[in-house]
Each structure stands twice: as structure tokens, then as C-alpha cells.
Amino acid sequence: MSATLVAEAPDQTQTGTLADVLPGVLGTTSDDTDKAYLVAADKILDALAYLRDKEGYDFLSSVTCVDYQGYNGKQRKGISERFDVVYHLYSTKKGGGHVVLHAPIPSNDTIASATSLFPGANLQEREVYDLYGIKFEGHPNLRRILLWDGFNGHPMRKDWKEAYFDEDSKPFRSRHPKGSYEFHEDKLPWGKNATYPAGWDPDTWQAPVAYVPVSQAPKHLGEAHLDTESIVVNLGPHHPSTHGVFRMLTRIEGETILALEPEMGYLHRNHEKIGERNTYLMNMPFTDRLDYLNSMSNNWGYALAVEKLTGIEVPERAEYIRVIMAEFTRFVNHTWSIGFILNDLGALQTPALYAIEEREMILDLFEEVSGARLMCNYLRFGGVVRDLTAGWLTKARYLANDRLPRALDELDRMLTDNEILMARGRGVGYLPAEDLISLSVSGPMIRAAGVAYDIRKAEPYGVYDRFDFEIPTLPHSDIYDRYYIRLLEARQSVRILQQALADIPGGETVGFGDYASATLSQGFGSIMGGKGGYNLRPPEGEAYARVESPKGELGFYIASDGKPNPWRYHVRSPCYINLNALGPMSVGYKLADAVVILGAIDIVLGEVDR
Amino acid sequence: MATVPPNFPEIKQEQLKPYLHDSIVVPDELQGNVLITTLDKVYNWSRKSSMWPLLFGLACCAIEMIATAASRYDLARFGMEVMRPSPRQSDLMIVSGTVTKKMVPAIVRIYNQMAEPRYVLAMGACATGGGPFKEGYNVVSGIDKYIPVDVYVPGCPPTPEALIYGLLKVHEKVERQSILTVPWYRKDQSEFVPVPRLGADIFDPRQVELIKETTMKKPVEASAATTGGGDAAAHAAGPKAVSGKAKSRMEEAKRRAAAKRAG
């Protein structure tokens, strides 16, 4: 069964030595597609420090947790405890693959916090605490993040059942009992999606004290600074500047920000809990709704992870189609983001209207092949769901060769030398590159700080190694550079598009060249050794795959127990983790700048909260 | 055979007949200068032609809402391009996206702050009934569980065309209203919607007694309260308590199934 596994594991020489020298190592997980080191929970900081200082793994990409209770009726090989915190580390200097650490959590659900080594673990550890109840010792601010204080239980635990609970895995047998249908609302006395613990009395219940950020006086305000009273100002969750439902708690003195805390979860749609109930294929349309501006990139990240887990091959034409779709998406995202940075600067609507003009044409192309403008749901494991339509390439070439470069030129002409953009953007929101990397920030944010780190070059996926393109970098790490880097990246996207549209195998001919692998067209059963079937059953193991989404590193972590539903399905969301930098970047600047600093991070709340 | 086009002015005159008073006689020489219509018509025409939506986006649908307002679909054609971030200045709330438990208190509060006349359009599957995320533990299955909704637009997300169609339906609804019967000029008609609160789970202040009936029925089980036993109380009491509305719906469904089998 596991002969089909294709491991894209770190190279063997390195791992061979690592297992010997890594502090606290208990062993490796041998049955996995992604090779992982088991590390004792009390030695985890030593292991992380070793990897960071000695091996150059300076980027803590993902921290998550897996609950192994009831796993396949038995324990997973090598893992003895119920909870298992998983760390994925990369190197921004060397590029290449990852190192995975598994830390089995002892029965008191406590592990040391990695925030002292990698401040970027901050939000992710809070998420793990919120959803799994793992306590991170030494974390500066361990509160619930996606749910609210006082919520009953930790919902991602396997024994926690939601109010509308049907069964553990789809497809549900109980959907149409006796030929009729029942609404979940009707089964609960209060007719709403809510569940209360026994003995909970809403009359005597007291709301927890609301959190207010404490003052963290910035360095440039010295002792001699006039001591005035600071106040707490709340922005959001309904605020036009927050790009959705996001909340910023700020402590300001005059107009200067002393502390800023992001508050999120207002769009927490339980993506991961639903994802564990879904079958593998069912999750594909849900990934569309993560970062809803870039459904194609999200599809690709998820498809890559499952393909890595199962070893499905992707035909050449499909790889080119994926590149084309992803680069169109990047163009859409970057122009959108440029338009809305200007919106946040007070140039209400006009630049945005110019910036998103071409977007409609690209959406028309997406609609033509996938049937939907936004939620394309176009990629599949082993290809794409259907071939390009007749004449599609002609239209796409017109856009890539003619229309899109002109649109970028226009934006460049209008905005790049704009006095207001310079005055508001230059030097605002500065954070040095090493701070950004330690905060796990990825994507255009670090490239605007001079770090030429792009997954398309550092660890090429798909057919990106065939194209001639550059990674633009800018040195200043301020709002202006974060605007301009998006323009430069959109130009590189156009460049990749022109090459991909010229070289695509099969060309205009519809039906010539495979757009999907044989396994996809025959049903997934064929790769599992059985008969053809609709449901994919990857072999037992785990995989983490990442793509360079327009926002940064989008990763999918999937652990499979060999059944049609993923045991663990985790999204490493670039928007969410980039928000680590929001507080440090905003402190010391004016409140009005915080709005633009947030805008220049370019978040989408669907991906932040998932 | 080409159908004869109906004589539009005559039909319009026929419709206006009940509103035209015999006492108003327009002299022949003024026929070209004087228009007679009803107050309702003028009132509703002005309201629907300058309906300002709340600048309020929740999720994916908000992107399509922005696209609707942008140059291609051009919401300005309907007098709706002025989106107001303040609920005090807006007439229409487009609930564009998934409503989560954490967000719904804010939405209800915003709704309460809107001045009447106010309308609510539930855009997309999530705002209508929970959509693909309905089963989630943090998702509200439709904003109409908390605030009244005037128009539902299906889709995930609805295309801009669908949203415009829904907005025109709101306009139609406005046109059908009469100044004599609208609630906002009456005494004691408008009430604030109680803001739901976030306790162990979200609860509506109106349902406190109902919740207590379930949660306080059994003796307190410490284990269920502490170790993530989110299901304990609700599922124990769940299937027994079926509301009248649900019963009728289930019966109707059974009838339909039986009819399908028979036919």
C-alpha cells in the first residue's frame, strides 16, 4: 500500500545527522510521507534553538496540534500521547524543504511556549490554546483568540461535539431519514445553533472582564516625554478600514499608538472542524472560501498537499493551467490590494475603481472555465476539473500581452510618484527584516524588507522552475515599499503568464494533452489498489505542502489515518500569521497610520479566521 | 400574428383610478403642466431612488458587493452608490456573508442603531441559512434568527446581477408600502431587538427561560462542564422537544414524500 508514497522529505544526509544531534529527540515517524522528529515536550525549546542557531532554520512556519483520541481504533505509530504539537520550520536563507517536529504533550496539557525563540508563534499558540486547550508556559498573552472568553470547551478536540452534530464523518447517513428531511434547528428547543453545558445558568452567569491592552511605551518616547493619560480606542469589528470584520484594540496617547492588539474570530467559520468531517474532495470548495480573492491559489495549496500524501502525478498541461490560474489570481490580488491601500489612505474609491477594472476581465476567464467568478473550485487532485474552453487562450493572451501591462503602467503613472502616497507611506510602519522573519511573516511583506524569499524559487512546486522571472525586493520595509512591491510582483506575474500562455502543451486544441491525470478520470480507487471509486483514501501518514499565495506562504497540513476523511486538516494561513507583525509595526505611529499599516499587510478575513 | 401592444397609458389610468378624486379637476390648459399622483407614490419613489446601503461587509459576499458597486455593474444607476459606514445614515443593511456567533451581537446592535425605515437584505447562502458552514460551532444559521429580513438572495456568492435583482426586489417592496400603514409613524410600533450575548455559547436574552429548562433540569455534572462536553445537555434534551413549526414542516415533508411515492 505505502509503496505509492512519494516523499519530498528533507535530503537524507541532513536528516541522518539531525536525528543524532537534535536535543531531546525521541525518534522519527517512519510511516509518514513527511519525515518528522519526535521531540520530548520538555526539550522542545532546546530543539528549536538548535535548529535556529546551528542549522539555520530561522522561519517557524507553522505550529499546530493534532488530537489522536480514538485514532483509527488504536494509537498511531510512535505517538503515545493524546495531543501532539507539530512544528514546521524552514530556512529563509538556504531555501529548500522543512524540518518537522512532533512534541507529544504530557497529560497536564502543558508545553513551553516557543515565543521566546520565535515571536511568530504568538498567534498560532493562542489558536492552539483556544481550539485544543494546550497551555503554553511562558506565552506573553495566552487568551482565546478565535472564540470568546467563557466559551465552553475546546472545539477542535475530537470529543467535543457541536450543536448540529450529526456524525463524525461525511457523508452523513442521517440526512434524509425515512425519505423526509429534518432541520437541525428543530431538534434543539431554542431553534438556534447553540449548545449549553448542563448546569449553566444564563441568569447568574457573569461575563469575563474585557481585555484591554497594557501600555508598552515605545523606545523613542523617552523619560522626558510629557506624561499624559493614555486611552483605549477600539476599531472594529464593523469599521470600514478593517477590510472585513476585524478588531484592533489600541492604547493611544494623544494620537500615538502605545499598544495595539488584534482581536479576531469574527469570521471564524470552523473551517478545520468541518474539514475533518468532510471527505478529501469535499474540502476543495471550502478552500475557495479561505482567501476569497484567490480561490485558485488556495485550491492549489490543498491539491498539492493531497497529491504529496497520495503520490498522484499531475500531467503537464494541468501544471501549466495551474500556473496560469495562479498568476492571474496574483495579479487580481495585487491590484486589488493596491487599490485598497489607497482607499485606506483616504483616496476613497477612485484608485480602487481603476485598480480593479481588469479584475472583471480575469474573472470572466475564470467563469468561463470553472463556472464561477469567485469560488472557482477548479483544481482537483491530479489536475484540473475540466479543460480550457475553445478560444480561452486567445482571450488570456490578449490580457497578458496587451491589457494587463497597460493597466500596471497606468497604476504606476498615477500612484508611484504621488506626493500623498510618499508622505504617508515613506518610513511608516517600519520593521526590520530580521524582526519580520522571526515573526513568521511571509510574502510581499518580507520582500518589501529586502528578503528575496519566494517559495516559487526557494522550493519550486508545479512547473515554476521552467519560467524566467525574478523576485523583486525593496529595501525600506515601509508602507510605500509594500505598495510598490505589489506592483513589481504583478509585473513578474504578467511575465510568467506570457511565457506560460505561449508554452502550454497542447495549446489551443481542446482535448489534446491531458488536463487531468488518469487516476482522476478513472476514479481514485485505482491508486489505492482497489477498484475505481469516488472517495480518496490516502495512506496513513501526514503531509505539509505550501504555495506562494499572493498573501504569503499558504500551507496545508494534512494527517491521514487511511480513511476517506482527513484526521487532521490544518491551514497555515499567511494573513493570520502576518498579523503577528501588526502590533510591533504600529507602535509609535499615529492611529491613522495603523489603518494603512493593516491595509498594507493585505489581509482577507476569511483566511485570518478560517 | 404579432400581438397588439397594450395601451400603456390606459392601463396606468385604470390602475390610478381608485386614487384619483373627483374633486381634483385639472383644467385643459394646465394638463401639460400639472401632474396628479398619490403621496405614497412620491414618498416611495424618493425613498427607493436614494436608498443608501450600510458599508458593511462580512465575508466573501462583500467582495461581490464591492464588484456590484464598481464600474462594471455600477450600482449608481439605482441611486445606491452612496454607501454609508454609519448605521444612522443608512437605509439598507446588506448582510453580505457568514454571520458568526462572535459577530452577531455587533450586527444586532448596528441594526438597532439604524433609523427607520430600514431594510435588511440577506446576501448569499450563509446569511440566509448558514450556507456551507451551517454545521460549524461558531456559525449562526441565518441572520433571520435574530433580525427581520426583507429580501433573501441565494448564491454562494450571488453574482452582482443576482444582488442587483435582490436590490430591485427591495425597491419593489418599498413601492408597495403606504404611508398610512408603515410602522414607523405609529406609536409603540418599533422595538429594539435584544442584543444576543456570548456566554458558554451564544444566547438570546428572550430565550433565557427556555435554556434554563434544559440546562438546569439535571443535576450538575462537573465532568460535562469542564472537559469540553459541549454536546451533553443539548443532545440529551434535543430530539424530544420539537416545536409546532417543526412538526408541521415535518408532516408536510412526509406528505410530499408520500405523494411522490404514490404519483
How does pLDDT run across B15-34, given as a tens digit for each residue?
A: 777 766 666 677 788 877 87
Selection from B123, B190, B184 nearest residue B154 by Cα: B123
Which chain A positions have a beta carbon within 8 Å of B221's beta carbon? 198-199
Instruction: Please give the domain boundaries of chain A with CATH numbers for all domains.
Output: 2-137 (3.30.460.80), 271-572 (1.10.645.10)
Question: Out of A150, A152, A166, whose CB is closest to B230?
Answer: A152
- pLDDT value of position B263: 66
* Residue B100 main-chain phi, psi, to 5 deg: -100, 165
Contact A339, A356 (CB under 8 A): yes
Please give the tally of structural domains in chain B: 1
Residue B245 in domain: no
Selection from B196, B170, B180, B197 nearest residue B78 by Cα: B170
Contact A39, A102 (CB under 8 A): yes
- pLDDT value of position A557: 92
Residue B135 in domain: yes
- pLDDT value of position A530: 46
Q: Half-sphere exposure (CA, 13 Å, Cβ side) for A531?
A: 0
Q: How far is A603 from chain B, CA to nearest CA, in Å?
A: 12
Residue B197 in domain: no
Which of A67, A82, A146, A152 to probe by mutation at the B interface, max B CB count within 10 Å?
Answer: A152
Q: Does B229 touch chain A (CB under 8 A)?
A: yes
- pLDDT value of position A120: 86
Q: What is the mean pLDDT of residues B217-246?
A: 49
ipTM, interface predicted TM-score of the complex: 0.85
Contact A374 B98 (CB under 8 A): no
Residue B202 in domain: no
Residue B27 in domain: no
Report which DSSP code applies to A131.
H
Q: Which of residues 197-216 of B touch A (CB under 8 A)?
A: 197-204, 207-208, 210-216
How far is it, in rounded angstroms, from Cα B198 to Cα B200? Answer: 7
Domain that holds residue B101: 48-185
Q: Does A293 touch chain B (CB under 8 A)?
A: yes
Size of interface A-B (CB pairs under 8 A): 270
Q: Does A417 touch chain B (CB under 8 A)?
A: no
Contact B201 A190 (CB under 8 A): no
Per the structure block, which three cell numbers stand in for A481? 515599499
Q: Which of residues 71-90 of B touch A (CB under 8 A)?
A: 71-72, 85
Q: Does B129 touch chain A (CB under 8 A)?
A: no
- pLDDT value of position B230: 45
- pLDDT value of position B235: 47
Report which DSSP code applies to B160.
H
- A196-229 in b/e burial notation, b at 16+ Cβ within 10 A? bbbbbebeeeeeeeeeebeeebbeeeeeeeeeee
How far is it, in rounded angstroms, from Cα A504 to Cα A322? Answer: 11
| pLDDT tier at B229, thresholds 50, 70, 90 | very low
Per the structure block, which three cell numbers stand in for B220? 450538575
Whole-number percent of chain B with pLDDT over 90: 18
Q: Does A285 touch chain B (CB under 8 A)?
A: yes
Question: Out of A191, A199, A269, whose CB is closest to B98?
Answer: A269
Per the structure block, which three cell numbers stand in for A65? 496540534
Question: Out of B139, B243, B254, whose CB is closest to A191?
Answer: B243
The more confident residue out of A466 and B186 is A466
Instruction: Write out residues in chain A with pLDDT < 50, as ranges.
Output: 1-15, 217-220, 526, 528-531
Contact A184 B134 (CB under 8 A): yes
Mean residue pLDDT of chain B comes to 80
Neighbour count for residue A522 (Cβ, 10 Å)? 14
- What are residue A104's DSSP bridge partners? A84
CATH code for position B57 = 3.40.50.12280
Selection from A497, A546, A500, A482 nearest residue A334 by Cα: A482
Which chain A positions have a beta carbon within 8 Å of B108's beta carbon? none
Which chain B positions have a beta carbon within 8 Å of A178's beta carbon? 254, 257
Selection from A470, A444, A430 nearest residue A553 by Cα: A444
Is A262 buried (19+), middle (13-18) or exposed (0-12) by CB count in 10 A? buried
Q: Does B144 touch chain A (CB under 8 A)?
A: no
Instruction: Provide the angle, in degrees to the nearest 10, between the axes of the packed helices A479-503 and A591-601.
Output: 20
Contact B227 A165 (CB under 8 A): no
Which chain B positions have a beta carbon within 8 Å of A192's beta carbon? 140-141, 145, 202, 204, 207
- pLDDT value of position B182: 84
Which of B55, B65, B110, B137 to probe by mutation at the A interface, max A CB count within 10 Å?
Answer: B137
Contact A153, A165 (CB under 8 A): no
pLDDT reading at B46 higher than 80: yes
How far apart, in Å, do the first and last CA atoms of chain A sit? 34
Q: Does A430 touch chain B (CB under 8 A)?
A: no
- pLDDT value of position A1: 32
Q: Which of residues 103-122 of A touch B (CB under 8 A)?
A: none
pLDDT reading at B164 higher than 90: yes
- pLDDT value of position A409: 92
